Amino acid sequence: MRFFNVNPGEHPEYIIVGLGNPGQRYENTRHNIGFKVVDYIDSRSAVSRGCKRMLHSSLCDKCVLDGYIIYNVKPQTFMNNSGMAVQDVMSYYKMSPKQLIVIHDDITLPAGEFRVKNGGSAGGHNGLKSIIQHIGTNAFIRIRVGVGVKPAEWDMSKYVLSKITDEEFALISDKFELIKKAVSSVFNYGIEHTLKVYNLIGANKVD
């Protein structure tokens, strides 16, 4: 962890993107859990003002987490066009894919579990597909947040846009602090260490 003062007006060192859809209609749906996590991270960061400023087709906030300047981003382009907003932010700040962390819902994981992933395919997630298409690479870090495994009889689009129950959200939000720590671990210790430590924690395999 860094202990020196950082001017939040400086160039960000990482972009943290939470995926979701804009508008009250989608606020508590499974697809919007990325927004919820980014809001949590932002609220626990220094010099935070909330992701309220509209720039780069996104609600954004520049703040400081563990001494690192981060740019928290909630694209407002709707999920299928998330890449447009992400590309705009990355181009503006001249950031590389290694400086990008995307937080998104995962319907293959139970509520209350999460995984850190470095690169790989979109796994059927339209927001990730759009990002990969627009920035031209899949070589960025993702944090997959379990929102409940989709029942076989459910249509995928209906399931991801369904509301998270109170019980499910309690399980998911209980891991927000650990997800924030996983993000900090990437800054301080690198991706390999973070994968080894936090994928065990995210799978509830460590007390």
Task: Look at residue 2 and tell me if it is in a domain.
Answer: no
Average pLDDT of the segment spanning 170-177: 98
**How many distinct structural domains can be found in the chain?**
1
pLDDT tens digits, one per residue of 137-167? 999 999 999 999 999 999 999 999 999 999 9
Domain that holds residue 114: 14-202
**pLDDT at residue 8 tops 80:** no
Average pLDDT of the segment spanning 117-125: 96
Q: For residue 10, name the pLDDT band (cuts at 50, 70, 90).
A: confident
**Residue 119: in which H helix or E strand, if any?**
none
**pLDDT at residue 5 tops 80:** no
- Taking the C-alpha atoms of residue 82 and residue 101, their distance in angstroms, rounded to an integer, is 14
Average pLDDT of the segment spanning 5-22: 86
Higher pLDDT, 46 or 186: 186
- Taking the C-alpha atoms of residue 164 and residue 29, their distance in angstroms, rounded to an integer, is 6
**pLDDT at residue 185 tops 90:** yes
Among 180, 188, 192, which Cα is nearest to 72's? 180
pLDDT of residue 207: 60
Task: Look at residue 71 and tell me if it is in a domain.
Answer: yes
Q: For residue 6, name the pLDDT band (cuts at 50, 70, 90).
A: low
User: Is 31 a catalytic site residue?
Assistant: yes
Task: Look at residue 7 and tell me if it is in a domain.
Answer: no
Task: Look at residue 1 and tell me if it is in a domain.
Answer: no
Q: Indicate which residue of 11, 31, 125, 193 is catalytic.
A: 31
Among 162, 128, 129, which Cα is nearest to 143's? 128
Task: Look at residue 62 and tell me if it is in a domain.
Answer: yes
Query: What pTM, to 2 d.p., does this model score?
Result: 0.95
Q: Judging by DSSP bridges, how do beta strands 53-55 and 68-75 pair with one another?
A: unpaired
**pLDDT at residue 95 tops 70:** yes
What integer best gives the mean pLDDT of the chain?
94
Average pLDDT of the segment spanning 73-95: 97
Task: Look at residue 207 and tell me if it is in a domain.
Answer: no
Task: Look at residue 9 and tell me if it is in a domain.
Answer: no
pLDDT of residue 14: 97
Asked whether 21 and 32 are in contact (CB, 8 A), the reply is yes
Task: Look at residue 5 and tell me if it is in a domain.
Answer: no
Positive or negative, the CA dihedral 22, 171, 196, 48 is positive
Percent of the chain's residues with pLDDT above 70? 95
160 CA to centre of own chain:
16
CATH at residue 174 = 3.40.50.1470
What three-state secondary structure class fits 205? coil
